[in-house]
Structure 1
Amino acid sequence: MRTIFIEGESAIASAKESYQNTENKNQALQEWQNALDKLLELPDRTLAKTMTANKLPAYERDFQAVSGVVTGGDRTLTKIAAAQEFATSATKLCQNPPYSAMTWKECENLWQQSINHLQSIPLEDTGYLEAQKLLANYSTNLATIKIKHQQEVESSQYLTQAENGIQNLIKNNNSSNPNYVIGELQGIISNLEKVNTDTTAYNKSQELLTYAKNKLKQFE
């Protein structure tokens, strides 16, 4: 039995060394667990069992501490991989603007899901610092997308207001009141000039802007 005890201790020492020097942490942990199991299986009321009882708690504490780190590291890698998948999807979806407000919102959602994965990684897990670097980058990307989304929404509103103004002028055809027409045209031009160049409304706004400016010149 003493031989089993010595072999068990030797196996634990070997597993610890293997854990420190190998990339395959899970295999080293399995060897460590097997060594602990051998010690736990020693018959009661033997000298080897008594010797094991004195050292086993420390062995088990070491094993639990190390296995927790490996588990946390695996969990972190999984979350980082998931975050990167969402980030890749967001990048592909948003890489050639302009887009509708609905598409920008979907981009926001993808970046936010990526960020959520990174934010769920505990401070004590290995890979935490890597996650924080990605988090800073992804948060910046999300902020940029939110700005573009807002620009799209506002530009669409400006275009709609301008279109409604033009339709009202055509409908009313109030040529007997030039000041009214001039004021309306100036308001239309002001709205169209606020349309952002990187939005879906821009091309249409430029067409209407040319139309409105030409109309205004008729009153000069």
Structure 2
Amino acid sequence: MHSKAKRLKEIPSKDVAGYTEAQKLLAIYEANLGQVKVRRQAESDAVEALEAAQREIESLLASIPTDVHDVQHNRVLSQLQSIINQLEKVPMAVGAYSYTLLLIYQIFREMILDHLYYVFSV
């Protein structure tokens, strides 16, 4: 606990006005602290989801053969959808959200381009 919060707890109950004010401030402090903990956990979860998605992207890229005719398009599309699902776990209120949107955009673009290339090359 922060030193100022500790000092608020030390105000004697005999000082009715000071004690009441201290209790109000402590309640505000504890509520704010709870919100900070929730946001910190959300940021941590978002980073974890992004890192998992990036590992999936790297794995997918490593597994795609160089010859376009050897690519299993349905499997690739399925993996891309799995990555999008992972990225959609990132809430809008976290700092990583804009990066998440960029990744989703890039994946959709790749899905569309890959599908068009496959359709016109077959």
Q: Deviations over 1:8-52 (max 9, x none)?
A: xxxxxxxxxxxxxxxxxxxxxxxxxxxxxxxxxxxxxxxxxxxxx
Question: Is 1:115–1:139's contact at 8 Å kept on the other side of the alignment?
Answer: no
Question: Shift of the alpha carbon at 1:134?
Answer: 0.6
Partner of 1:213: 108
- Measured after TM superposition, the shift of residue 122 of structure 1 is 3.3
Letter in 2 for 1:129: T
Alignment match, 1:124: 14
Residue of structure 1 in register with 2:119 after alignment: none
TM-score, normalised relative to structure 1: 0.45
Structure 1: gaps (5+ residues)? 1-111
Equivalent residue number for residue 88 of structure 2: 193
Instruction: List per-residue Cα deviations over 1:63-98 (Å, max 9, x = no partner).
Output: xxxxxxxxxxxxxxxxxxxxxxxxxxxxxxxxxxxx
Shift of 1:199: 2.3
User: Superposition pairs for residues 146-165 of structure 1, below 5 Å?
Assistant: 146-165=37-56
Q: Using the TM superposition, give the Cα deviation of residue 172 of structure 1 relative to its aligned residue in structure 2, in angstroms.
A: 1.1
Change (3 A) 1:132 1:169: same
In 2, Cα distance between equivalents of 1:164 and 1:172: 12
Q: CA deviation at 1:177?
A: 2.2
Determine which structure has more spread, i.e. the larger CA radius of gyration.
1
What is the aligned counterpart of 1:133 among 24, 32, 45?
Answer: 24
By relative contact order (CA 8 Å, sep 6+), the higher-ranking structure is 2
Alignment partner, residue 180 of structure 1: 75
Matched residue count? 109
* Distance (whole Å) between structure 2 residues aligned to residue 120 and residue 191 of structure 1: 47
Listed one character per residue, the Cα deviations across residues 128-184 of structure 1 (whole Å, up to 9, x for unaligned) are 111001111111111111111011101101111111111111111156222321221
Identity of aligned residues (%): 33
Asked if residue 169 in structure 1 is aligned to residue 60 in structure 2, the reply is yes
CA RMSD of aligned residues (A): 2.1
Displacement of 1:214 in angstroms is 2.1
